[in-house]
Structure 1
Amino acid sequence: MNESVIRQKIARLRAGKMPRVLDLFSGCGGLSLGFHAAGYEIAAAVEFDRDAAKSHGTNFHKGAAAHCLARDITTTPPATLTSALGLGKPESAFDIIVGGPPCQAFARVGRSKLREVADHPEAFRHDPRARLYIDYLDYVDICVPVAVVMENVPDMLNHGGHNIAEEVAEVLDSRGYACGYTLLNSAFYGVPQMRERMLLIAIHRELAGEVHLPEPTHWIDLPPGYEGSRAVALKLLANTDNSAGENHYLPAIDAHPKKGAKAVTAEEALKDLPVIDARAQMKDGTLKRGARRFDVPLAYGGADKQTGYAKLMREWHGFTGRDKLLDHVIRYLPRDYELFARLKAGDQYPEAFKCAGLMFEEALARLDKRPRKNSAAWKALRDSIVPPYDPGKFPNKWRKMEPDKPARTLLAHLGKDGYSHIHYDSAQARTISVREAARLQSFPDGFVFCGTMNPAFRQIGNAVPPLMAKAVAESVLEQIRAALCEPGRLAKVAGAR
C-alpha cells in the first residue's frame, strides 16, 4: 500500500504540484519558512507551545484558528490532525515531513530498544522515553511522505553515549528511505550566526538511492570552540567501524573562499535597525520594568546603512517588512547598561565581572564618606553595580558581540536574560532586541512572533535559521526533481529491489 501511495505522490509532483509540508515540533516555523521560500506549500504543523503554535498559524495560514491551535503530538494522531484541518486522509495530505523531536525523547533508550520500539510500538506505548519517538514514526508510517528532514542539536550524535541520529536513520532505512545525516553550521548558508546543527535527510528509494547535502554559500573560519564541540559530537562516530556500511553519516561539504561569499556579520545584519539608547530611555522613563508588548511602532531610518542582507530581511517575498517595527524591544537591565558600554567586543563574563569591580571602586571613591567594607551600605552599593555570578563558574554567561563576525549561537535562554548577546554598539549599551535576535536567525522583518517579549525570544532561540532551512529545502527539491525527470526511474528502482 505504501508504494502505491508514494507513486501517487510522485505522479502529483511530476504534474507540477507544489510539495506539501507537515512540520512536526514546528516551533514558530523556522523550517517551515525555509521550505516555503524554496517553493513548498506549508500544509500543517504540530506544536505544543501555545505562543509558537499561534505564530506558525499567523504566518503561514493567515491566523486561521484551526492552524493557530497548540497540539500535543502524543494526543493528536495524524487522522485527528488532518480531520481538524480539513485535509482529508493523512496518507494523501502531505508529501514531506520536517521537524525534530527533542532528543531527550529517546535518550537512554538505546539502539536495540529503538529497533524494538520501531517494530513493536504497542509494547512500549507507556514508555515515556520512547513515546515521542513512536508518535514521530507513526506520522511517517501513516502519512507516507516522499521525504523526511529532521533537525536537532549536535549532541544528537552523542547523547548519553548513543548516536541517536544513526539510530533514527537505521529505522527510516528499514522503512524504505535512503538516509544521510551530518553537522551543518548556519554561517555557511548566509545566516549571521555561527549555529551548529544536526541535519538528517531521508528520501524514499522510489526517488533516490542516496541523499546529498546542500552546498555552502558562505565561508568563515569557525572559532576553536565550535571545532571542539563538533569533535565531541563526532566522538562516537570516530570509534565506530564503518566497514559494514551501517553508518549513515555524511561529512559536511567544505566551505572556503573560492566557493562562496564571506559570512554575514552581526553589523551587516543589524546596522540599519533603529538605534535604542538604553541609558537615555531609562532616564526619560520610556524604558521601565514590566512586560514588553509589541505595541510601540519604531520607524526604520538607517536607509543609508542597508546591506544586501538587510534588504533581504526587509523585502523577503511574502514577509515584507512594514514602514515601522513593533518588536524592536529590549530588556530592562538598569544595573548593567553602564557596564555594557565599557565592555569591548568579544568580552565575556570574566571581563565583565572585572570591569564591574573597577566601576564599584570608582563609585566608592566618589563618596564623601566611604562605607565600611561588608557593611549594609557597602553591599547595597556593590550589588547595584556588580553582577552576582562567580566568573569561574559562568565564564560564558555574558558576551558582547563582535560587529565584524557572525553572532555566536542564539539559545532559547534568550527568553530569560539575553546576556549572551550584548549589542556591539557601546553607545546603545544594551542586550539585543527581539527583532535583532530574529535578524540574527534570518527571520525576515515581516515575520510575526506572537506573545510578549520573553515568549518571542524563546521562539527565536529554539528555531531553525530559515536561510539554512531554505538551503536544505532547495537541495531536497533538486534531488526529487532530478529523479522525476530521469527516464524509467521508477522501473529502475523497482528492478533493483
Structure 2
Amino acid sequence: MNFLDLFSGAGGLSEGFLKAGFEAVAHIELNTYACKTLETRSAYHYFKSNNMLELYKEYQKTYNQTEKIRVEKRRELLSYVPEGIMEPVINEEISEKTLPRIFEMIDSRLGVMENNEIDLVIGGPPCQAYSLVGRARDENGMKDDPRNYLYKLYVRFLSRYQPKAFVFENVPGILTAFDGNLFKNIQAYMKRVGYNIEARKIDAKDLGVLQSRKRVIIVGWRKDLNFCYPEIIQNCINYFVDDVLRDLPKLRAGEGYKGFSYNLNPNKYILESGIRYGDDILTHHIARSHIKRDLEIYKIAVDKWNKDKTRIKYTDLPEKLKTHNNLTSFLDRYKVVAGNEKYSHTVVAHISRDGHHYIHPDITQNRSLTVREAARIQSFPDDYFFEGPRTANFVQIGNAVPPLMAEKIACWFKERLDMI
C-alpha cells in the first residue's frame, strides 16, 4: 500500500503511515527546512531497513557541531542511499503554476516503483486561514487569504490519481469558516471528482498522545468502494506528561546537553509509544536563554500551577514584573506545561517565538521547553532529526500532526484497504 503526502510539513502525518507499513510515493512541501527534515527521515528509514543505523547515529552526533560540519556530514549520509530508493521530497509550493511539474515528478516516481496507482492521498493545507485565532486577528477575517482555497489544489490530485481514499487534516475552524460555506464548498469539490466524504473532530489525547490537540479529519473514499469512516478506538491513558520529560537530563535556562545519553531508563509509556528505544541518541536538548524578569515570572507560574493547578494571569503578577500595557486580553501569555496531568495544552508553532506559553513544570529547571521536549509531547520519536535552526525546529513541530495519532488512523486504513 502506498500514499502521496501533500503539504507534508516535517512529516508527522506520513510518519504514522510509514510505521503502519505504507510506502511513500512522494512528499510535497514548501518549507525548505521541513523538506530537509523529510529527506533525513527518509534516509533513516532506509538505514533501519538495511541494518545500517550506525551511519545515521553518527550523523545525529553532529548536532552539537558547526553548521558547516553538519552540512558536509549530511551530504555524506545521503550519499549512502542508492539513487531511486529514497522517496522524493518535492520542495515546491503547490499552485496552478507548479502542478504540471509536480505531476510529472510523481508520474516518474510511480514508474520507478513499477506502479500506476496511488492508494491513498494524505495531508492538510496550512491551517492559519481556517483557524479561529487567525480569523480573529485579521481585520478581514482571513477572507482575502489565498490559503483559503488550497483545498481546490488538493482536489486536483484526487482528480488526477483517483486514489482509493484520502485523509485531509485541519483545524476545527475549517467547519465554521465563513459561516460554514467554506466547508460546503470543500465537500462539493470532493464529491464532484468521485468521492464520498465524512468529517469528524478527533482529539490527539484520545489516541494515546499526552496532549490535547483537536483536529478535524476529513476522510474520503471513491464512490465505487464499500468504505466508511475509520472506527478508531479511544485510548485510556494512565500516564502523565511528566512521563515524557523525566528521563531527559535536567537543564537550566541557556544550558545545552551535549552527551547524547539519558538521565534514566525509558519508562513504560515512552517504550509503548515508540518515543525512545534503548540505544537512542539524544539530540535537540538545548534550553533557551531567558531574561531575569521572565525567569521570575516562570517561577511564580510554576509554583502556582504545581500547588493548586491554577493558571496565572498577567494581571496577577507583581507590578514590577509587568511591562505590557494590554491588561484586558491575552492574559494567559505565561503558561506552564501540565506535567501532573494526563495531557498538556496544544503545542503550536508560536512556541518558536519565546516559549512563554510552554514553561517546563520542574521549577528547579526554570525555563521553557527544549525542541526535544516539545517533539516528545507531540509523540515524535527521539530518533527523529529536525533540520535547520532551533526556531525552524519549533515551527516544524508545532505545525505537525502527532505521529502516534497518525499511526492509529493509518493502521485502520491499512486493515481496511487490504480487503478492497
TM-score norm. by structure 1 comes to: 0.66
Residue number in structure 1 paired with 2:362:
425
Equivalent residue for 1:268, pick from 243, 267, 281: 243
Match of 1:417, as an amino acid? Answer: D
2:373 partner SS: helix
The alpha-carbon distance between structure 1 residues 129 and 427, as it changes in their structure 2 partners (threshold 3 A), is closer
Provide the rounded CA distance (Å) in 2 between the counterparts of 1:35 and 1:323.
22
Listed one character per residue, the Cα deviations across residues 307-363 of structure 1 (whole Å, up to 9, x for unaligned) are: 2222245666xxx5755422012221122223312322245451x553443xx4xxx
The alpha-carbon distance between structure 1 residues 446 and 103, as it changes in their structure 2 partners (threshold 3 A), is closer
Equivalent residue for 1:328, pick from 253, 277, 285: 285
1:148 partner SS: strand
Residue number in structure 1 paired with 2:378:
441
CA drift at 1:130: 6.7
Residue number in structure 1 paired with 2:347:
410
Map 1:41-440 onto structure 2 (within 5 A). Answer: 41-61=23-43, 63=78, 67-74=88-95, 75-77=97-99, 80-83=102-105, 86-88=108-110, 92=116, 94-102=118-126, 128=146, 132-218=150-236, 261-262=237-238, 264-278=239-253, 286=255, 296-303=258-265, 306-312=266-272, 323-335=280-292, 336-343=294-301, 344-345=304-305, 346-350=309-313, 354-357=316-319, 360=320, 385-388=321-324, 390-405=326-341, 406-440=343-377
1:162 partner SS: helix
CA drift at 1:216: 1.1
Q: Does the 8 A contact of 2:35 with 2:91 survive in 1? A: yes
1:45 partner SS: strand
Q: Does the 8 A contact of 2:25 with 2:106 survive in 1? A: no
1:60 partner SS: helix
CA drift at 1:32: 0.2
Provide the rounded CA distance (Å) in 2 between the counterparts of 1:84 and 1:480.
22
Provide the rounded CA distance (Å) in 2 between the counterparts of 1:457 and 1:85.
33
Q: Does the 8 A contact of 1:313 with 1:321 survive in 2? A: no
Q: Does the 8 A contact of 2:12 with 2:403 survive in 1? A: yes
Provide the rounded CA distance (Å) in 2 between the counterparts of 1:388 and 1:177.
51
The alpha-carbon distance between structure 1 residues 89 and 141, as it changes in their structure 2 partners (threshold 3 A), is farther
Provide the rounded CA distance (Å) in 2 between the counterparts of 1:339 and 1:32.
38
2:91 partner SS: coil
Map 1:15-54 onto structure 2 (within 5 A). Answer: 19-54=1-36
Q: Does the 8 A contact of 1:356 with 1:387 survive in 2? A: no
2:88 partner SS: helix
Q: Does the 8 A contact of 1:47 with 1:72 survive in 2? A: yes
Match of 2:193, as an amino acid? Answer: R
Match of 1:28, as an amino acid? Answer: A
Residue number in structure 2 paired with 1:461:
398
1:160 partner SS: helix
Residue number in structure 2 paired with 1:476:
413
Listed one character per residue, the Cα deviations across residues 199-249 of structure 1 (whole Å, up to 9, x for unaligned) are: 01112233324333422123xxxxxxxxxxxxxxxxxxxxxxxxxxxxxxx
2:155 partner SS: helix
Q: Does the 8 A contact of 1:27 with 1:462 survive in 2? A: yes
Give unpaired runs (5+ residues) of structure 1.
Answer: 1-18, 108-126, 219-260, 288-294, 361-384, 485-497
Match of 1:268, as an amino acid? Answer: D
Rg larger for: 1
2:269 partner SS: helix
Match of 2:267, as an amino acid? Answer: T
CA drift at 1:420: 1.2
Provide the rounded CA distance (Å) in 2 between the counterparts of 1:141 and 1:151.
18
CA drift at 1:157: 0.6
Q: Does the 8 A contact of 2:158 with 2:193 survive in 1? A: no
TM-score norm. by structure 2 comes to: 0.77
1:73 partner SS: coil
Provide the rounded CA distance (Å) in 2 between the counterparts of 1:166 and 1:191.
31
Further displaced range: 434-443 or 200-209:
200-209
Listed one character per residue, the Cα deviations across residues 150-187 of structure 1 (whole Å, up to 9, x for unaligned) are: 00000001012125344323332332223211101100
Residue number in structure 2 paired with 1:229:
none
2:177 partner SS: coil
Provide the rounded CA distance (Å) in 2 between the counterparts of 1:106 and 1:301.
41
Residue number in structure 2 paired with 1:232:
none
Q: Does the 8 A contact of 1:272 with 1:310 survive in 2? A: no
1:27 partner SS: coil
Give unpaired runs (5+ residues) of structure 2.
Answer: 45-77, 132-144
Provide the rounded CA distance (Å) in 1 between the counterparts of 2:31 and 2:274.
27
Q: State the identity %.
A: 30
The alpha-carbon distance between structure 1 residues 439 and 389, as it changes in their structure 2 partners (threshold 3 A), is farther
Match of 2:356, as an amino acid? Answer: Y
Provide the rounded CA distance (Å) in 2 between the counterparts of 1:401 and 1:106.
26
2:339 partner SS: coil
Q: Does the 8 A contact of 1:418 with 1:432 survive in 2? A: yes
Equivalenced residues, count:
358
The alpha-carbon distance between structure 1 residues 144 and 84, as it changes in their structure 2 partners (threshold 3 A), is closer
